[in-house]
Amino acid sequence: MGIFTAGPALSGMDYDPQAIEERWRQRWREEGRYEADPAEGADGDDATFVTVPYPYPSGGMHIGHARTYTVPDAYARYRRQQGDNVLFPMAWHVTGTPIIGAVERLKKGEAEQLSVLQDTYNVPEEDLSDLETPMGFAEYFIEEHYKKGMKSLGLSVDWRREFTTNDERYSKFIEWQYRTLKEKGLVEKGLHPVNYCTDEEQPVTTHDLLEGEDAEFQEYTLVRFRGDSPDNGDADRAGASDDGDAVFPMATLRPETVRGVTNAYVDPEATYVRASVDGETWVISADAAEKFDLQDREVEIEAEFAGEAIVGTTVANPITGDDVLILPAGFVDADNATGVVMSVPAHSPDDYVALQELQARADDLTAYGIDPDAVRAIEPIPILSIEGYGEIPAKSAVEEHGIASSDDPALEEATNDLYNAEFHSGVLNDEYGEFAGEVVEDVRDAFREHHAGDAFDTMQEFSEEVVCRCGGDVEVAYQETWFLRYNDEEWREKTLRAIENLDAIPENTRGEYEHTVGWLNEWPCIRNYGLGTRLPWDQEFVIEPLSDSTLYMSYYTVAPHIQDVPVEDLDHEFFDAMFYGADAVDDADPKALELGEEWDYWYPVDYRFSGNDLITNHLTFYLYHHAEFFPEPKWPQGIVVMGMGLLEGQKMSSSKGHVVLPGEAIERFGADTVRFFLLNASEPWQDYDWREDAVESTHDQLRRFYNRAQELIEGPAGDRDAVTDVDRWLLSKLQATIETATDAMERSETRTATQAAFYGFDEQLKWYRRRADLDRPGARWTLRHVLETRLRLLAPFTPFMANELHEKLTGTPAEDAPWPEVDDDLRAPDLELAEERVQALVDDINEVADVTDTDPETIRIYAAADWKRQVFDAVREVGADVGAVMSEVMSDPDLRERGNEVNEVAQDAVEFARDYDDEELADLLAMDEQAAYENAAAFLEREFGADVEVYAEDDADVVDPADRAGNAIPFRPAIYLE
RNA sequence: GCGAGGGUAGCCAAGCUGGGAAACGGCGGCGGACUCAAGAUCCGCUCCUGUAGAGGUCCAAGGGUUCAAAUCCCUUCCCUCGCACCA
């Protein structure tokens, strides 16, 4: 055994992320490395406060969540190296119903839920029982997933500050927030449409739905036709009362078509009622009566009868006064809207076909006591004109689609097309008075408004069937609720100002915030049940999740110390004193003032990092509340919005098990690899794709980096005084790298920063390794200096590895070393330009060798003659304009003699010069080109395994067997391979 | 429909905020060096043509502005996300 089982100890320095990372995690834990407290006597100028929405532990953490927290961590680490005192806290959002729902599904033993828990998130069988209470459930995922995951990732979180939104002290804070809002009149009571399960008799959330999750509330216009109502339950219309005053509300989404109504439909089989609705007599379906009851109308059913009972009666159009006939139709759904439908055959393909079919069998209608001739006499009434359709648009549409009957599937398309066309380009006829000649789109709302109250009424209805998980029918109900008045003008103004001041990253999100403020209405901020804080003045309600997460970043600043304050002391005055100072209350609690100081030190939030999907609610709410509660200097300074994550090109989905858990990824690749990949895959706001092959390759790159660094650290220190031009060239490139990375991090561009510090600079190093003799003391020093700088640049992204190596190299961890600054003395633009020429030369030689398929034994290089440089000089003087250059150059008699030759060089020079600015051109012209190639000759000989000879084009002893030398132009030497 | 962001070589992905002419990188593929060999590493090639560093045709499609466009403008097609009371 022995040698075969143990395997060779690979050089002993191979990259072992698990071991390195565990050491640092332990060290951070023991040192309390990221516990941030205000510096003694400091005013907060050095404070940076970074937050991220607290996770919602209704399930486990996956790699998509990991990035949300890693990006702010990288920024926090960057600011620490810049010398800031940085606070990056974390807490847990448990408010509302999702956790409760998850627990219930677990307790019911739902297969899907069990699969998510056990297969996706690896909850062991024996732990399942701990998950049967909401807080037990939350606790499990907080401890076993989120916290473990975050700690493994090396997030620089101050863990002393964690809390859950179900904590009693947090609730005291939320109570203060909502009492304050109420005092300001920004929380009000009112009616709001909600999803209401008619079986459970309570409001339900989207998550409670079995069907119709995508259903929208639609506001129907009810056209109040009037007519006689039946007065009893018999299907005998002889008993109809002659009041002529009952309302037959007909629901439509196109109120402007009211003038085109030719008849109405009801389902003769369905149950209808005569009911008193808000004191009026209405005739509607029984289902509709229930809906109106839920929508806060006073409904009293007076009589019940089959639809048949009203078939054949006439009702009067409230706009035109015309009488229309009620006809029977099987397609009427009594459970949709009012169950009484108006028919506009000129503009609705459905109605057009239905009418035709009905007219074809008009004789059958005598059974309802209807005169067939009256039905046959019905003609479509057009109310608008539209290009591309005939006088009767519905007729054109039906004919064009070749529709023969009402069960033709093409009918739906025809209807959609026509509705769309009419909405956007239908012009109303003359009868519309002040609305005549207008396009529907522009006047529909005004038209409806115009007739609201008398001819028109409204109701809410879902756009599709909605069914509760319990199997019950879900209807739109109006509920008494407390809501936040996000449409309050003053509040809006303040919030818009907050948006103006905001550093919105990326910048194009600013408009989205503004847009959101524009359309945001009242927001119901309470639920009937759920975890969280009860509304202080109405204990039966709970403040909902998007409403109790708007100001809480303040709470982080005092979270550890507030634990020492007895809960009962945390009254309204306490928080008033804490946030608004001693003068805000009569008798300020000294503890409150003390906490207030810490708040004042950390606030405002410098950057909040959050998903881009939250702009339209959470993030905008956050701005609203801060704008209202705090003075301008405490408003949010910046928001960085984050993109979505994909897994192997597909959406992640915990229910499908299509997720990667951070713990598993870290175990396999190491936390640095996971972090680096997440930070480098794209900029924070862009979407990214977790692809295993790419992660693997990232891991390989880090390993290579680590091993190379190890070698350097173990090798000799070198000598700064021995550096040569190549070394200076590399050091100059390093300065540009520092500059790029720094600028990028100021804008949270983690991809650009890592790309520059890692991959970008690797390219330079690659060249340097080819070019330079690495055993020289000057090179050793350079490489170690470069390594030290890069480790500091990489510390925010790969803190474990960077710390480990930096400490070995210098004695201090990278995170304790300052962020590198550009050293202008190390910039050498002239060397960079010269080196660029050598690189271009290598490329050219390669190309020629490749095209001619030769392996040269001798390479001859010819630098351009001096007179050609004069032409270049002219370009620098007069600019990249061939004409101007020529006239300048032709004043020189020597050059004038060369005529055409000069012209050619001038053209090349102008083209070349376009890539460089004046300074660079001056540097180029100052360089001794031939010397640069001569200095590179040894290198070129190594590279190509050939002899290299360098000449000036016009040397007396130039060897030019193939007559190439004349091709030379400045900075582009002629070459000949043989 | 409204709002936002996109469509770049086999794949991923820069460049598109100050228009300059094959377009950074990476993966994959091909060839080579090193090696007993594999891996790792290094070098070259990877749109078409080409025995001299070139020419041709390109950046969803079409049109326009310009000496010059992936980059600016217009039109069309396609994809992703949000449109709420849900985290």
Q: List b or e across A169-203, with b for residues whose CB sees 16 or more CB atoms inside 10 angstroms.
A: bbbbbbbbbbbbbbeeebbeeeebbbbbbeeeebb
pLDDT of residue A875: 81
Can you give the distance from the CA of residue A921 to the C1' of nucleotide B11 in angstroms? 40
- The 3-state DSSP class for residue A114 equals helix
What is the tens place of the pLDDT at every residue in A132-191?
999 999 999 999 999 999 999 999 999 999 999 999 999 999 999 999 999 999 999 888
Strands (E), A312-391: 314-316, 323-328, 341-343, 384-385
Q: What is the DSSP string of A820-877?
A: P---GGG--HHHHHHHHHHHHHHHHHHHHHHHHT---SEEEEEEPPHHHHHHHHHHHH
Query: For residue A793, how far is the Cα from the chain centroid?
Result: 27
What is the tens place of the pLDDT at every residue in A920-970?
888 888 889 999 999 999 999 988 888 999 999 888 888 988 888 888 888
- Determine whether the distance from the CB of A190 to the nearest atom of strand B is below 7 Å: no
Can you give the distance from the CA of residue A127 to the C1' of nucleotide B6 in angstroms? 44
- Give how far Cα A663 sits from Cα of A73, A530, A561, A670, A901, Å: 18, 30, 32, 9, 69
Pairing of strands A85-87, A47-51: parallel
Pick the closest to residue A219 from A64, A440, A449, A525 (CA basis).
A449
Can you give the distance from the CA of residue A324 to the C1' of nucleotide B65 in angstroms? 60
Q: What DSSP state is assigned to residue A531? A: B
State the residue for tokens 């930096």. A806
Instruction: Assign domain A6-38+46-161+642-673 to a CATH class.
Output: alpha beta
What is the tens place of the pLDDT at every residue in A626-638?
999 999 999 999 9
Can you give the distance from the CA of residue A943 to the C1' of nucleotide B34 in angstroms? 15
- Determine whether the distance from the CB of A847 to the nearest atom of strand B is below 7 Å: yes
Please compute the mean of the pLDDT values over residues A505-534 and round it to a whole number.
88
In chain A, ranges of CATH 1.10.730.10 domains = 690-830
Alpha-carbon span A635 to A604, nearest angstrom: 6
Query: For residue A27, how far is the Cα from the chain centroid?
Result: 35
In chain A, ranges of CATH 3.90.740.10 domains = 218-463
Please compute the mean of the pLDDT values over residues A555-576 and round it to a whole number.
96
- Determine whether the distance from the CB of A684 to the nearest atom of strand B is below 7 Å: no
> What tokens were used for A528?
């009937």
What is the tens place of the pLDDT at every residue in A18-66?
999 999 999 999 999 999 999 887 777 899 999 999 999 998 898 888 9
Instruction: Looking at A98-186, list the stretches that DSSP marks H as alpha helix, in order from N- to C-terminal side.
Output: 98-107, 111-115, 134-141, 148-153, 168-183
In chain A, ranges of CATH 3.40.50.620 domains = 6-38+46-161+642-673, 170-195+475-641
- Determine whether the distance from the CB of A148 to the nearest atom of strand B is below 7 Å: no
pLDDT of residue A629: 96
- Give how far Cα A138 sits from Cα of A30, A55, A416, A556, A925, Å: 27, 11, 47, 20, 69
pLDDT of residue A4: 28
Nucleotide nearest to A763 (CA to C1'): B25
Can you give the distance from the CA of residue A301 to the C1' of nucleotide B87 in angstroms? 41
Q: Which residue has the higher pLDDT, A407 or A314?
A: A314
Pick the closest to residue A289 from A305, A306, A272 (CA basis).
A272
Residue A241 has pLDDT above 60, yes or no: no
Instruction: Yes or no: say if A557 and A602 are a contact pair by the CB < 8 Å rule.
Output: yes
Listed range (A317-321, A387-391, A852-856) with the worst mean pLDDT: A387-391
Listed range (A416-425, A517-526, A953-962) with the worst mean pLDDT: A416-425
Alpha-carbon span A209 to A517, nearest angstrom: 29
- Determine whether the distance from the CB of A307 to the nearest atom of strand B is below 7 Å: no
- Determine whether the distance from the CB of A213 to the nearest atom of strand B is below 7 Å: no
- Give how far Cα A693 sits from Cα of A652, A673, A674, A690, Å: 17, 12, 13, 9
pLDDT of residue A588: 93
Nucleotide nearest to A205 (CA to C1'): B86
The answer to whether the Cα torsion of A332, A333, A339, A344 is positive or negative is: negative
Pick the closest to residue A49 from A140, A148, A161 (CA basis).
A161
Alpha-carbon torsion, ordered A346, A347, A351, A356, to 10 deg = 30
State the residue for tokens 């069960």. A407
Q: Which CATH architecture has domain A218-463?
A: Alpha-Beta Complex (3.90)
> What tokens were used for A494?
């303040």
State the residue for tokens 């339900």. A204
Please compute the mean of the pLDDT values over residues A811-815 and round it to a whole number.
97
What is the tens place of the pLDDT at every residue in A177-187?
999 999 999 99
Please give residues of chain A from 40 to 59 whose alpha-adjacent beta carbon (CB) lies under 7 Å from any atom of strand B. Answer: 56, 58
- Determine whether the distance from the CB of A510 to the nearest atom of strand B is below 7 Å: no
Question: What φ, ψ does residue A301 adopt, rounded to 5°?
Answer: -80, 130
pLDDT of residue A233: 44
Q: What is the DSSP string of A64-104?
A: HHHHHHHHHHHHHHHHHHTT-EEE----B---BSHHHHHHH
The complex's ipTM? 0.93
pLDDT of residue A691: 86
Which bases of chain B come closer than 7 Å to a protein CB? 1, 3-5, 12-14, 20-21, 24-27, 40-45, 50-53, 80-87
- Determine whether the distance from the CB of A682 to the nearest atom of strand B is below 7 Å: yes
What is the tens place of the pLDDT at every residue in A78-92?
999 999 999 999 999
> What tokens were used for A758?
């890692």
Residue A9 has pLDDT above 70, yes or no: no
**Superfamily (CATH) of domain A170-195+475-641:** HUPs (3.40.50.620)
- Give how far Cα A400 sits from Cα of A382, A408, A526, A904, Å: 18, 13, 51, 67
> What tokens were used for A8?
């060779």
Please compute the mean of the pLDDT values over residues A576-596 and round it to a whole number.
95
pLDDT of residue A6: 29
Mean pLDDT estimate for chain A: 88
- Determine whether the distance from the CB of A919 to the nearest atom of strand B is below 7 Å: no
Nucleotide nearest to A968 (CA to C1'): B53
What is the tens place of the pLDDT at every residue in A691-743?
888 888 888 889 889 988 998 999 899 999 999 999 999 999 999 999 999 99
pLDDT of residue A408: 79
Residue A234 has pLDDT above 50, yes or no: no
**Which residue's C-alpha is at the least distance from the C1' of B40?**
A704
Can you give the distance from the CA of residue A651 to the C1' of nucleotide B79 in angstroms? 14
Residue A268 has pLDDT above 50, yes or no: yes
- Determine whether the distance from the CB of A842 to the nearest atom of strand B is below 7 Å: yes
Instruction: Yes or no: say if A34 and A72 are a contact pair by the CB < 8 Å rule.
Output: no
Please give residues of chain A from 620 to 649 whose alpha-adjacent beta carbon (CB) lies under 7 Å from any atom of strand B. Answer: 644
Please compute the mean of the pLDDT values over residues A463-468 and round it to a whole number.
78
pLDDT band (50, 70, 90) for residue A207 = low
Please compute the mean of the pLDDT values over residues A523-538 and round it to a whole number.
90
Please give residues of chain A from 419 to 448 whose alpha-adjacent beta carbon (CB) lies under 7 Å from any atom of strand B. Answer: 420
Pick the closest to residue A83 from A688, A747, A817, A650 (CA basis).
A817
Alpha-carbon span A16 to A774, nearest angstrom: 27
CATH topology for the A690-830 domain:
Isoleucyl-tRNA Synthetase; Domain 1 (1.10.730)
Alpha-carbon span A762 to A754, nearest angstrom: 11
Can you give the distance from the CA of residue A505 to the C1' of nucleotide B67 in angstroms? 39
Alpha-carbon span A909 to A970, nearest angstrom: 8
Please compute the mean of the pLDDT values over residues A479-492 and round it to a whole number.
89
Instruction: Yes or no: say if A953 and A866 are a contact pair by the CB < 8 Å rule.
Output: no
Alpha-carbon span A268 to A235, nearest angstrom: 10
Can you give the distance from the CA of residue A612 to the C1' of nucleotide B5 in angstroms? 11
Query: What's the angle, vertex CA A740, arms to CA A739 and CA A741, rounded to 5?
Result: 95
pLDDT of residue A438: 82
pLDDT band (50, 70, 90) for residue A885 = confident
What is the tens place of the pLDDT at every residue in A274-308?
999 998 899 999 999 988 988 888 999 988 999 98
Nucleotide nearest to A856 (CA to C1'): B52
State the residue for tokens 């600019």. A879
Nucleotide nearest to A694 (CA to C1'): B27
Alpha-carbon span A149 to A25, nearest angstrom: 12
Q: How far apart are the first and last CA of chain A?
A: 58
- Determine whether the distance from the CB of A507 to the nearest atom of strand B is below 7 Å: no
